[in-house]
Amino acid sequence: MSFVSRRNFIVQTGCTLAAPFLNLKESSGETPSPDIIYFNGKIVTVDSAFSIAQAVAIRGDRFLAVGSNADILNLAGRNTQKIDLEGCTVLPGLIEAHAHPESASLSETDYPLPNPVTVDECLTWIKMRAAQIPDGEWIIHPKLFPTRLNEMRSPTLKELDAVAPNNPVFLNAAYGGMINSAAMQVSGITPNTEHSGLLRDPQTGKLTGIILVTALGLLKRPAVKNYSVQERAEALEKMFYLYNKVGFTGVTSGGWQIKNLDLYHYMRNNQMLTLRVFANIWVNFPFKDNSPEEIKHSIETLGCKTSDGDEWIKIGRLKTTIDGGILTGTAYLREPWGEKAGEVYGIDDPDYRGIVQMTPDEFANLVRPAAEAEWSMTAHCTGGGGVDLMLDAYEKVNDTDDVSSLRFSIIHGNFYTPEAMTRAKRFNVIADMQPAWFYKDADAMLYILGKERIKTFHPYRSLFKAGVVVSAGSDHMIILDDKDSINPYSPWLAMWSMITRKTQRGATIVPEEAITREQALRCYTINNAYASFEENSKGSVETGKYADMVVIDRDFLKCPEDVIKDIQVKMTMVGGEVVYGGL
């Protein structure tokens, strides 16, 4: 048996999508005139041949024709607007494959957040906040990762207590973090509290303040601030403008509740959407101990499935969580983390491989009914052991039902062996990667894991060679700035890192895994369109596709390598409408 393929949902226009130039006849027999023509440029189409054109014609929200200056200008009618690109480079609209704009947009509503690079900068901010707020009020940094500090450690419990003795402090590292004594006190955590997620000094047995994801529920944190739909929409509109500013025309929301999709519909109804949204949906029902029938019923109650929606808002994949994170030492690896885990993460168990939240069978028991209901599946998974676990589950389902048309994915993944790549290709599993993680974290991973294991960390060239579709995103979570955010969402910085294998700390790590500019661009265009089942309607500048494009200030394919990260966008267009800049 094979799952029924639903992937012919793309709106068909009657156009030959791959044609570089097309004479499109109206019912009267006349050639329809374009609304606008951009000419005298370098149009990097990212079609199957990666062809370069000079001009593009747009009618309504679609590309009407792509080709030479002469051919495209010949289509101009009496009312066609003609704009000289003056040699500028045009790319397809870029697509952000994994971000959390909903939370990021609100992250600096109350006060600016720092992105410290040293322990001292972190402590200075905490001391400043303690002076600004009443005693007893929490100081929380929503995403602060110890391995990204130059010292490659969190502030110690003693250091935190010194700068904020009267305020609970929580430095949230997503799948773990650091707390001070005041946070322990208000949370009822005492020296006698026994929990594997509360780490202790191996010499003294005292709590260190390091807390793993399994113990985060112990913290008595303040309630999350409520915002009205209008406030959330206005914040997200500003966030999307910043995404447009760096060239994005589409985004995959990394994980969202079904009920919260009302926010996007509110934005569309109020003409606030300037990005096409593919929204992954969190599994919000129990499934580990449930029967297939119970899981199937829970999935049916969601009332939708992957690709439901329209050209602006589509339902993405069904998402769950496999492990923790590489920056807290909770990612599930193929072998133990090793001796450096004690030094960096405070985890001294020599057999420790990370945290795993389910078995392959448990994950497969969710995947099978989801696939039968025509959902594409994915999961947060940051370690190589988690990658293998997900592939084991996908293989279990594929043994009886061909899942290739559903394009399952692995979010993050990070560590791919040749065997894992072969299996991912066999089941058509997409590698949903975050190049910013390589830029930010490869130095730490090299230090912790060593020269051999680092070879499997973000092996882009090998993934391409194996035929695995690599989609690229940022996992942007907080802070609005494109390069100083956590995680930086600048696609130009990300592509530069993929092309050069350079990191924030100035190292070049495993340079043999560098990819070409063409490949990097594909990761942010046609590959991301494929990942959302929309390769027939976006992701390249081709006749009949949505007129999503970006004009940049230099030649991406020819400019010096080290200036790629500094590319500036002159104009971003979505569906024939300019949403940023102009010419």
- Kindly give the pairing relationship between strand 139-141 and strand 81-84: unpaired
Report which DSSP code applies to 323.
B
**What per-residue confidence (pLDDT) applies to 31?**
64
Q: 417-433 pLDDT, tens per residue? A: 999 999 999 999 999 99
The DSSP annotation for 122-144 comes to HHHHHHHHHHHS-TT--EEESS-
Percent of the chain predicted with pLDDT > 70: 95
Average pLDDT over residues 24-51: 83
Token pair of 164, please?
């904020």
Q: What's the confidence (pLDDT) of residue 30?
A: 63
The answer to whether residues 453 and 161 touch, using CB atoms and an 8 Å cutoff, is no
> Which parts of 33-85 are beta strand (E)?
36-39, 42-44, 52-53, 55-59, 62-67, 81-84
Q: How far is CA 154 from the centre of its chain?
A: 25
Q: Read off the tokens for 574.
A: 């979505």
- The bridge status of strand 549-552 relative to strand 89-92 is antiparallel
Q: How confident is the model at residue 1 (pLDDT cuts 50, 70, 90)?
A: very low
Confidence of residue 528 (pLDDT cuts 50, 70, 90): very high
Strands 409-412 and 430-433: parallel
- For residue 94 the two structure tokens come to 């870029």
Render pLDDT for 82-99 as a digit per residue (tens, 0 to 9): 999 999 999 999 999 999
Q: What share of the chain in percent tops pLDDT 90?
A: 91
* pLDDT tens digits for range 545-561: 999 999 999 999 999 99
What does the alpha-carbon distance between residue 188 and residue 221 come to, in Å, rounded to a whole number? 12
Please name the fold of domain 112-218.
Diaminopimelate Epimerase; Chain A, domain 1 (3.10.310)
Per-residue DSSP letter, 147: G
For the chain, what is the mean pLDDT?
93
Tell me what the mean pLDDT of segment 8-28 comes to.
34
DSSP-based three-state secondary structure for 497? helix
- ∠ at Cα 476 (334, 571), nearest 5°? 135
Q: What pLDDT is recorded for position 289?
A: 84
Phi, psi of 279 (to 5 degrees): -105, 110
Higher pLDDT, 29 or 52: 52
CA distances from 420 to 30, 124, 371 (A): 54, 44, 21
Beta bridge partners of 176: 212
SS3 for 478?
strand
pLDDT at residue 288 in the model: 87
Rounded to two decimals, the pTM is 0.93
CA distance 330 to 321: 12
Which tokens hold the place of 101? Answer: 């704009």
Domain residues of the chain, as ranges?
112-218
Which DSSP helix (H) or strand (E) runs through 397?
helix 384-398
SS3 sequence of 352-370: CCCCECCCHHHHHHHHHHH
Q: 451-478: per-residue pLDDT in tens?
A: 999 999 999 999 999 999 999 999 999 9
The model's pLDDT over 471-500, given as tens digits with 9 standing for 90+, comes to 999 999 999 999 999 999 999 999 999 999
* Helix (H/G/I), strand (E/B), else coil: 95: strand
Per residue in 230-267, pLDDT tens?
999 999 999 999 999 999 999 999 998 898 899 999 99
Say how far apart CA 15 and CA 497 lie, in whole Å: 37
Q: Report the alpha-carbon distance of residue 93 to residue 501 in Å, rounded.
A: 24
pLDDT of residue 32: 85
Q: Which of residues 542 and 13 earns the better pLDDT score? A: 542
Most distant CA atoms of the chain, gap in Å: 87
Reference 60, options 19, 10, 24; nearest CA is 24
Quickly state the pLDDT bin for 25 (edges 50, 70, 90): very low
Beta sheet of 549-552, edge-to-edge order: 52-53, 42-44, 89-92, 549-552, 569-574, 577-581
Cα(260)–Cα(96) distance, rounded to whole angstroms? 20
- pLDDT for 159-176, tens place per residue? 999 999 999 999 999 999
Residue 554 CA to residue 472 CA, distance in Å, equals 22
Q: C-alpha distances in angstroms, 25 versus 15, 62, 96, 241, 359?
A: 10, 15, 35, 36, 57
Can you say whether the dihedral through the CA atoms of 339, 343, 347, 353 is positive or negative? negative
Tell me the two tokens of residue 334: 């193929």
Res 552: pLDDT: 98
Angle between the N-to-C axes of helices 418-426 and 384-398, in degrees from 0 to 180, rounded to the nearest 10: 30
